[in-house]
Structure 1
């Protein structure tokens, strides 16, 4: 059995005026009905999808939804409540009794008029030869709706599309976000390890010498922060619209930067037949202590996204990858292993109090992580079966 890496591929729909009107009306209708289903789930405290279906399916059919569309609306609502309960349990929405948590628990989940609607192969079919789709709407099935995407995305769609696709509308433009399952490459036995240290001043530093400096990006984000503050003071409709546009633009910029960093690291590992040793990201915001000016950068940078990109690109390329504990990696000497708080003389400089080696602090930490990756890989491959007497 060949394992696969699930990725999403986005295509832009190019409907004519009548098709666009039907798609927009469909999204408004299914999301209005999703709000009704959400209210039923909230008022009656319906915990399971089967129970929710018994209480809502006939009404959705009577409102004109097809069987599959009705099922998807119910499942979308149930999944939203499952996510909400998971966040409440994890404490992501505040402690029990807090104002934020009480606010969330006191009302049903609400879906935006043009929130994403899932489609399966019964409601949506792809014609790759003409680069069009046939899609269900409340006005009937639309055929010959053209779509556009990059050449690489088109190849991935043709070969690996599998499962559901989401129809979404952003700024008056329709997109289909398709799930694709790309097979993993066979993992090779690494000749060495590349340690990757993540930070604020330098977003990522690899033990090979590659360094993704954060200076330009931090300037960009500081400028965006100032612009957001200026627009928030105006409190006009146009200012709110501009805020939303800038938020999406910044998200795209961050995502593109993370993609470039991840691809650079994985490509180098593949070229040199080495593995990647990545620091465990869980709890990075809690364990890192920073001066006040750096806290905004820490809490707004998508560290998890960067880690996810490195993981899935490594799996697609067959590059071995391990997660290691980063504790004290900034204080440990990569040369002799001596750990001392005083080894870190400044943000950028590392001077070992034992062997006297002088190095760039982030470069030293990445080499420490590389060694820990080698140890973790070796320990994982060693047999735990007791020797036969």
Structure 2
């Protein structure tokens, strides 16, 4: 399986200047190649490379391999655009978003990420440095910082190209690691996980990972952002820029911690993990204005993605099941109704009297559906007569 490892570069001012000039040149070259591809309706990488290769080297100062990488970046960007159009992510043909996306060539920001393969970039893991191609030639001895686990993954499993990223005045390298998967075992049972806003994750075992602290943190961050925006001074803008993405990093850390704990329990007990399929929930739900920001910032998809890849890496079976009425259905008698859940926190079946925390009951229903779904997934296919 593929894992992404991000390391922070620690260039000197001279090295940072060279990296910035290189990144801007690569993106200008990619924008030029994009215009050619758009005007000539070229989708083939080989055809586009024949048309623009010499021009990229002569006009933008790229050497052979960076020019090839720029062409590939353009072709990949158009492939992604076509996939989004087919999936309907940009609206129907004729809509404003669709026309805007298809009516002009793709352009690349001056500091957009640029891929470098092993011919343009090499790693010196013992010295914790990289050697990277720039417009001024090969630049050696650029230091990087990472955790011991990240360094171990890079040494053992790094494959393919790495992306040079400039973000908030900092430099990063993002590398792809091909990490081997553990063989998936046959689960003895399942852990149902109910994801929510107040309680980020509640398992069928009764373990509750509350989201109140994250909610308070988000509200505090929102107040600080409003104060800095209202002040509007240069100092306030600098502080707001430094605080950017801090809230997202905090939420990501919490999701990593929760998913790691759930996967560890499942692996230790020989069980699988089941979650609700919440795809499209933001489109299905209509909320009051004061609730929209809370739903929009709810990181349920990221938590599910963390659970999925950590389970896959550990060999733990993972399933997504139907989410319909999991919080309103009684797991004992099957009675389903809104009245079974009189408020957000409590469940009480109107038919058999089963009562308990609503999120735990939902987790139990997810677990029960996983049991049935796994039987269907693993059932042998009958042979044709």
Name the structure 1 match of 2:365: 368
1:172 aligns with 2:169: yes
Unaligned runs of 5+ in 2: none
Name the structure 1 match of 2:18: 22
Name the structure 1 match of 2:299: 302
1:315 aligns with 2:312: yes
Name the structure 1 match of 2:374: 377
Q: Could you list the per-position Cα deviations for residues 252-289 of structure 1 after superposition, in whole angstroms to 9, with x for gaps in the alignment? A: 11211211111111111112111101111322223345
Name the structure 2 match of 1:7: 3
Tell me which of 275, 279, 301 is aligned to 1:278. Answer: 275
In 1, Cα distance between the equivalents of 2:16 and 2:247? 27
Name the structure 2 match of 1:328: 325
Is the 2:184–2:317 contact (alpha carbons within 8 Å) kept by the matching residues of 1? yes
Q: Could you list the per-position Cα deviations for residues 109-167 of structure 1 after superposition, in whole angstroms to 9, with x for gaps in the alignment? A: 22222211101111111122222222111111122222111011111111111111111
Shift of 1:193: 0.7
In 2, Cα distance between the equivalents of 1:181 and 1:236? 46
Shift of 1:178: 0.7
Tell me which of 25, 48, 53 is aligned to 1:52. Answer: 48
- Aligned CA distance change for structure 1 residues 287 and 247 (closer, same or farther; 3 Å): same
1:36 aligns with 2:60: no
Shift of 1:290: 4.3
Shift of 1:236: 6.4
- Aligned CA distance change for structure 1 residues 95 and 387 (closer, same or farther; 3 Å): closer
In 1, Cα distance between the equivalents of 2:359 and 2:120? 51
User: What SS class does the counterpart of residue 259 from structure 1 fall into?
Assistant: helix
Is the 1:200–1:294 contact (alpha carbons within 8 Å) kept by the matching residues of 2? no
Name the structure 1 match of 2:244: 247
In 1, Cα distance between the equivalents of 2:373 and 2:337? 23
In 2, Cα distance between the equivalents of 1:303 and 1:174? 29
In 1, Cα distance between the equivalents of 2:375 and 2:283? 30
Name the structure 2 match of 1:154: 151
In 2, Cα distance between the equivalents of 1:127 and 1:82? 34
Name the structure 1 match of 2:137: 140
Shift of 1:339: 1.7
Q: Could you list the per-position Cα deviations for residues 181-238 of structure 1 after superposition, in whole angstroms to 9, with x for gaps in the alignment? A: 1101111221211001111111111112222212221222233334444545566666
Name the structure 2 match of 1:88: 85
Is the 2:159–2:178 contact (alpha carbons within 8 Å) kept by the matching residues of 1? yes
Shift of 1:92: 2.7
User: What SS class does the counterpart of residue 106 from structure 2 fall into?
Assistant: coil
More moved, 135-144 vs 236-245: 236-245
Q: Could you list the per-position Cα deviations for residues 13-39 of structure 1 after superposition, in whole angstroms to 9, with x for gaps in the alignment? A: 222333222212111111121122222
Task: State the TM-score, normalized to the length of structure 1.
Answer: 0.91
Shift of 1:297: 1.6
Tell me which of 353, 356, 365 is aligned to 2:353. Answer: 356
Q: Could you list the per-position Cα deviations for residues 65-98 of structure 1 after superposition, in whole angstroms to 9, with x for gaps in the alignment? A: 1221111111112222222233333333344444
In 2, Cα distance between the equivalents of 1:106 and 1:212? 47
1:122 aligns with 2:119: yes
Tell me which of 325, 328, 339 is aligned to 1:342. Answer: 339
1:217 aligns with 2:214: yes
More moved, 35-44 vs 342-351: 35-44
Is the 1:205–1:362 contact (alpha carbons within 8 Å) kept by the matching residues of 2? yes
Is the 1:350–1:359 contact (alpha carbons within 8 Å) kept by the matching residues of 2? yes
In 1, Cα distance between the equivalents of 2:235 and 2:87? 37
Name the structure 2 match of 1:79: 76
Is the 1:13–1:147 contact (alpha carbons within 8 Å) kept by the matching residues of 2? yes
Unaligned runs of 5+ in 1: none
Is the 2:196–2:300 contact (alpha carbons within 8 Å) kept by the matching residues of 1? no
